[in-house]
Each structure stands twice: as C-alpha cells, then as structure tokens.
Amino acid sequence: DAGVIQSPRHEVTEMGQEVTLRCKPISGHNSLFWYRQTMMRGLELLIYFNNNVPIDDSGMPEDRFSAKMPNASFSTLKIQPSEPRDSAVYFCASSHGSENTGELFFGEGSRLTVL
Amino acid sequence: AQSVSQHNHHVILSEAASLELGCNYSYGGTVNLFWYVQYPGQHLQLLLKYFSGDPLVKGIKGFEAEFIKSKFSFNLRKPSVQWSDTAEYFCAVLEGGFQKLVFGTGTRLLVSP
C-alpha cells in the first residue's frame, strides 16, 4: 500500500514567494496532520483535519500560513509570503479513525529553504 | 497544555552498549505515550506505544519502554544497540480528551560500529 505522499520533496525559493506543499494521505484515513520540524523547536503541530474539517489550527504560526483539505485524498499547506525563518521540514501525517489515537503515519517530508 | 522533555539531545554509543533515553511529560491524568523513530533520510515511524495495562511495553527491533506514572516518565531502553539503530528518537504524548500529539525535541543516537 502507498504511504502518505508529499510533494515537493525539496523546495528552494526566495523570500516573498508563495510556497505550496501538498499531501496525499493514506486511503481510508480520515485524520490529517501538518507538522513542522526545525532544529530549534523540534516537531510542532501546525494544524490537523478530521473528515476534511480543520479541528485545531492553533499551531499555525501566523496569517501567512494557510491549509486546506478540499477532499479526503488531498491537502495543501500554503505560505504566502514566505520568509527565511519558514525554512524547515514540513511533514504530513494521517491516521485512521475519528479520534486521534496517536498512531500517525508520516510522509517523507518536504524540505523548504527560503533564501 | 502537555509538554514533553527529552533531556539527551545527542547520544553516542558503541555497538552492544545498552541504551536508555529519557522522556518526561509535564503533568498527569490520562495519557497515551509513544516513541517514534526517524532513520536517516526516512520518515518518522512508530516504535512503540503505551495506552494502558502493563507499564512495560515492547516495540519493534528489541526496544522497550517503561511508563512510571509517579515520575511522569516513559524512558526508552534497549539492552544492546546495533549500528542500524542510528536514528533520531522522539517521545510523544497524547493527552486524554485532547487531539494533539505533542512531541519532544528528539534525541539523536549515533551508534559506532
């Protein structure tokens, strides 16, 4: 079975540009999570969805960040405009069930570098 | 809100040495506890979990962890590490009634052959 699929794997962009990261969760999973990983702060939960509905976005850093899940098989995380401090690895994860059991399946991450 | 502390940021061991990685969470109540591992160049994957019952839980690849409620701890152990255990290890807690899985900052383990 295919795991969680993220794209792009690597992105290098200039400050001020729009960045869109994409995620396809595992089929049948109805919870989706976006995490950001940095050396300084480790893994931070940005937002999570259940049945395509955002449940908690309190981890989204600021208005420059937005996330959508238009259907059960696709989600995007957008940063506009991007800043150098957004450089990080962004992970998408999915899980089965309406409640978060903590058993997440992670994608391989999107490494973002903002110059 | 819950927080997770992993006190060892970097650990270097020789093969066959014993391993113990510390993990403490901030406060009590019903918690589910996890260890995730991230091998070089790979995604995070679940190593083991504690939901209830026997506080000593066994995971994949010979790892185990012990939940000590009085100490708010969930330390990861392995009696004899291998070079292939080189990875970053994350402790995580899911607080009862909440939907957030909160991770510690991770411990990088390097096992020298």
CA distance A49 to A16: 27
Q: Looking at residue B9, what DSSP letter applies?
A: S
Q: Which residues in chain B touch residue A49, judged by CB atoms under 8 angstroms apart?
A: none
CB contact under 8 A, B49 and A103: yes
CA distance B72 to B23: 8
pLDDT bin (cut points 50, 70, 90) of residue A90 is: very high
Residues of chain B with pLDDT under 70: 28, 95-99
Q: Which residues in chain B touch residue A101, judged by CB atoms under 8 angstroms apart?
A: 32, 94
Q: Which of B46, B103, B105 shows the shortest C-beta gap to A103?
A: B46
Convert the pLDDT of each residue in A16-56 to its tens digit: 999 999 999 999 998 999 999 998 888 999 999 989 999 88
Q: And the tokens for B3?
A: 């927080």
Question: Of A50, A103, A105, which to mutate for an interface test with B (greatest number of B Cβ within 10 Å)?
Answer: A103
CA distance A83 to A81: 7
What DSSP line would sit under B21-88, residue for residue?
Answer: E--EES--SSEEEEEEEE-TTS-EEEEEEE-SS-SEEE-GGG-EEEEEGGGTEEEEEESS--GGG-EE
For residues B80 and B111, the answer to whether their CB atoms sit within 8 Å is no
Q: Which of B45, B92, B106 shows the shortest C-beta gap to A102?
A: B92
For residues A1 and A68, the answer to whether their CB atoms sit within 8 Å is no
Whether A99 has its CB under 8 Å from any CB of chain B: the answer is yes
CA distance A59 to A30: 20
CB contact under 8 A, A100 and B101: yes
Residue B41, min C-alpha distance to chain A (Å): 8
CB contact under 8 A, B32 and A102: yes
Element (DSSP H or E) covering residue A105 = strand A105-106
For residue A109, how many C-alpha atoms fall within 13 Å in the half-sphere facing its CB? 19
pLDDT bin (cut points 50, 70, 90) of residue A114 is: very high
Whether A91 has its CB under 8 Å from any CB of chain B: the answer is yes
